[in-house]
Amino acid sequence: MTTGTPDASQEMAHETTAAAARIGPFADPAWSTPHGLPPFEDIVPAHYLPAFEAALASHRAEIDAIAADTAPATFANTVAALERAGHDLDRVASVFFNLSGSHTNPELQAVERTITPRLARHGSAIYLDAALWARISAVDPEAEQLGPEERRVLDRYRTRFRRSGADLAPEAKDRMAEIAARMAELGTSFSQNLLADESSFALPLETEDDLAGLPPFLRAAAAAAARERASAHGHVITLSRSLIEPFLVFSTRRDLREKAYDAWTRRGESGGATDNRGLIAEIVALRAERARLLGYDSFAHFKLSDTMAGSPDRAMDLLRNVWTPAHHQAATERDRLQALVQAEGHNFDLAKHDWRHYAEKLRRAEHDLDEGEIKPYLPLDGVIAAAFDTAERLFGLRFEELPDVPRYHPDVRAWAVRNADGSEVGLFLGDYFARATKRSGAWMSAFRSQERLNGDIKPIIVNVMNFAKAPDGEATLLSFDDARTLFHEFGHALHGLLSDVTYPLLAGTAVAGDFVELPSQLYEHWLEQPEVLRKHARHYRTGEPMPEDLLKRLLAARTFNQGFATIEYTASAIVDMTLHLSSAGEDGLDVAAFEADALKRIAMPAEIAMRHRTPHFAHIFSGDGYAAGYYSYLWSEVLDADAFDAFREAGDIFHPETAARLRKYVYGAGNLRDPSEAYTAFRGRLPSIDPLLRQRGLAA
């Protein structure tokens, strides 16, 4: 019998076991859960940081091997190898960042603050790797006779590397890496500050007088919010859009409307630890510096050089062309609302916190339409069914709800998605209700994206929303705007689900920023079609269809208040672009003064605020995605208004041939083509602005 230290193989096995324990389910190369869903119940916050560290090391080793390859550079050993690399990192990041937005906690937020700059430095090290860039540059598409998809992947990689600084001098590369890491820190802080402000506010409604004007559905939602927050008050209004907006519409307490509106519009500028204005000044300065390093006049010029618009001038031209008629329309709307104030015997001037309230009164007077009359015909389940049925009639999709699959919150629902022939498309998750652990807004994301390079990988797509949840046993009723949001996000989901590409880089929504909203905004059109509403807008208790008279009044009011809606959106887009056209980007930027000056120069109506004021403008400051790109919703609306006309011209909103082209060239094509080419392939030509102006009631 011998004694002593364990042999090397035993020590290695022990270390491997310990490492696997630290990263939990992320140690498994493939999850055996239904549909390969993440095993959410088995993942704890302590797993994420070690899992990230292991995945980062693995990815770096893969990249180093590609860069150090001594064989001549080919598409297969360089570009396709890059596409295959990083699987573990993608898996950890997709789970973590989905949950950090939709169901976070202090432990996840601490991990997020730690890991985001490390991920940024990791990405910079790849894109600034001279040996790797040399190999990508050396791939010869002509000699290899690459196909169209391979050429597109190669082109997109070369574009990404150049835009990340691959051609810069060493000292400039170092600075680019520093900027990327710092920007990741700032974006994380911005998002967490905003969530803190949104989660900490609650307006108590303590008396019957405080509840004056609120319809039953809103009283129920306010009571549910109080219970969810364990409030001592029976009813509270939070800063969730699904609560704050109807409160501003219905409350007859002008003082409470003002208090709630002030909190809503001052998120991110509290003056305390969660104030975002200093972060914004630094973000704008760093973006401007990055653009100058790359040889651009401003961050806006850099950002738009790789979009359909191509330049800030073209984007601003569109915004101005819409601003002018919208401004005129909003002035007319304001005068009519002010007349209504005076007709009620009041002598105050219409204010920002009054607009929605009096607009609803005017809508009732002009269209005999009451939001409370509409909502009973739009239960959440009915609107989901309408979205699914539309997808079936357009694209032949089938949806089967799955009761027993892993989920990260009890409210999350899951559906298997299949083609008409029964073949698998992917998995769709719906996370519909507001909660304190979820950031505001609505979005689509992916736990797994479609591709064929690493096998026939089916996507797992999630829609996240913030509807006010009804009490247990009662139906959640949506406003028409809520229903439109659901259709919008489901359009994004279809863009991810129907993706039909080989390479991950091109999959789903990985398209130009001013093209990505086309599938989502186009899908909204079907909600407004009488054929869809007659079938699916049914009373949540009786099952009776929406009365024909109510349906006609609802559709007749589609362009009501569009001056206001267009102004609040377009003002946000103009301020975004103006901020990022700054070539200096001084650290001392006074955010409030800049915003006020930009609005003054476009004659912003005093009675309307930006849809997203700068201190809480998460679209452009939580990350770079929509920075100098908020205009893209309007750009895409030009496309979607024209695209739906293709169905009208065919005489059938579900026209099979038109739907087949739509699936092939828009929803299924990912980034296989330049967006202008993709749209032309679908429509036969590029669009004009006229359908958009008609859609918004601004054509005159």
Tell me the per-residue pLDDT of 42-77, one tens digit each, with 9 for 90 and over: 999 999 999 999 999 999 999 999 999 999 999 999
DSSP-assigned beta bridge partners for residue 538 = 545
The Cα 700–Cα 695 span in angstroms is 11
Residue ranges of alpha helices (H) inside 368-479 are: 371-374, 380-395
What is the structure's pLDDT at 16?
61
Tell me the per-residue pLDDT of 322-343, one tens digit each, with 9 for 90 and over: 999 999 999 999 999 999 999 9
Tell me the per-residue pLDDT of 593-611, one tens digit each, with 9 for 90 and over: 999 999 999 999 999 999 9
Residue whose C-alpha is closest to residue 388's, from 571, 231, 536 = 536
* 272 domain residue, yes or no: no
69 and 137 within one domain: yes
* 700 domain residue, yes or no: no
Please indicate whether residue 51 or residue 7 has the higher confidence score (pLDDT): 51
Residue whose C-alpha is closest to residue 679's, from 653, 640, 648 = 640
For 470-495, give one letter per residue: b (16+ CB within 10 A) or e: beeeebbbbbbebbbbbbbbbbbbbb
The Cα 666–Cα 682 span in angstroms is 7
What is the structure's pLDDT at 634?
96
Residue ranges of alpha helices (H) inside 266-398 are: 277-293, 299-304, 312-343, 355-367, 371-374, 380-395
Asked whether residue 592 carries a pLDDT value surpassing 90, the answer given is yes
First to last CA, the chain: 98
Of 265, 287, 315, the domain-final residue: 265
134 and 43 within one domain: yes
Helix (H) or strand (E) holding 135: helix 130-138
299 and 346 within one domain: yes
3-state secondary structure 391-419: HHHHHCCEEEECCCCCCCCCCCEEEEEEC
Q: Confidence band (pLDDT; 50, 70, 90) for 584? A: low
Lowest mean pLDDT among 441-450, 532-541, 686-695: 686-695
The Cα 661–Cα 115 span in angstroms is 42
* 183 domain residue, yes or no: no
Q: What is the distance of C-alpha 172 from the center of its chain? A: 32
Q: Percentage of residues in the chain with pLDDT exceeding 90?
A: 92
The Cα 323–Cα 634 span in angstroms is 11
Range of the domain at 144: 16-127+129-167
Structure token pair of residue 103: 């169901």
The Cα 188–Cα 321 span in angstroms is 35
Asked whether residue 15 carries a pLDDT value surpassing 90, the answer given is no
| Phi, psi dihedral angles at 113 (to 5 degrees) | -65, -35
Asked whether residue 454 carries a pLDDT value surpassing 70, the answer given is yes
What residues are labeled active site?
A: 489
691 and 675 within one domain: yes
Structurally, how many domains does the chain consist of? 4
The Cα 656–Cα 671 span in angstroms is 23
Q: Confidence band (pLDDT; 50, 70, 90) for 371? A: confident
What is the structure's pLDDT at 279?
96
What's 304's domain CATH number? Answer: 1.10.1370.10
Q: Decide: helix, strand or coil at residue 206.
A: coil
Concatenated DSSP letters for 69-132?
--SPP-IIIIIIHHHHTTHHHHHHHHHHHHHHHHS--HHHHHHHHHHHHHHHHHHHHHHT-HHH
Q: Confidence band (pLDDT; 50, 70, 90) for 2? A: very low
438 and 530 within one domain: yes
552 and 472 within one domain: yes
Please indicate whether residue 617 or residue 14 has the higher confidence score (pLDDT): 617
Asked whether residue 261 carries a pLDDT value surpassing 90, the answer given is yes
351 and 300 within one domain: yes
Asked whether residue 436 carries a pLDDT value surpassing 80, the answer given is yes
* 11 domain residue, yes or no: no
Helix (H) or strand (E) holding 235: strand 235-237
Tell me the per-residue pLDDT of 157-207, one tens digit each, with 9 for 90 and over: 999 999 999 999 999 999 999 999 999 999 999 999 999 999 999 999 999
Asked whether residue 9 carries a pLDDT value surpassing 90, the answer given is no
What's 641's domain CATH number? Answer: 1.10.1370.40
Tell me the per-residue pLDDT of 474-495, one tens digit each, with 9 for 90 and over: 999 999 999 999 999 999 999 9
* 685 domain residue, yes or no: yes
What is the structure's pLDDT at 434?
93
Residue whose C-alpha is closest to residue 158's, from 178, 174, 134 = 134
Asked whether residue 292 carries a pLDDT value surpassing 90, the answer given is yes
What is the structure's pLDDT at 1?
40
Give the mean pLDDT of the chain: 95
DSSP-assigned beta bridge partners for residue 545 = 538
Q: What is the pTM of this model?
A: 0.94
Beta 460-467 vs 443-448: how paired, if at all?
A: antiparallel
What is the structure's pLDDT at 14?
59
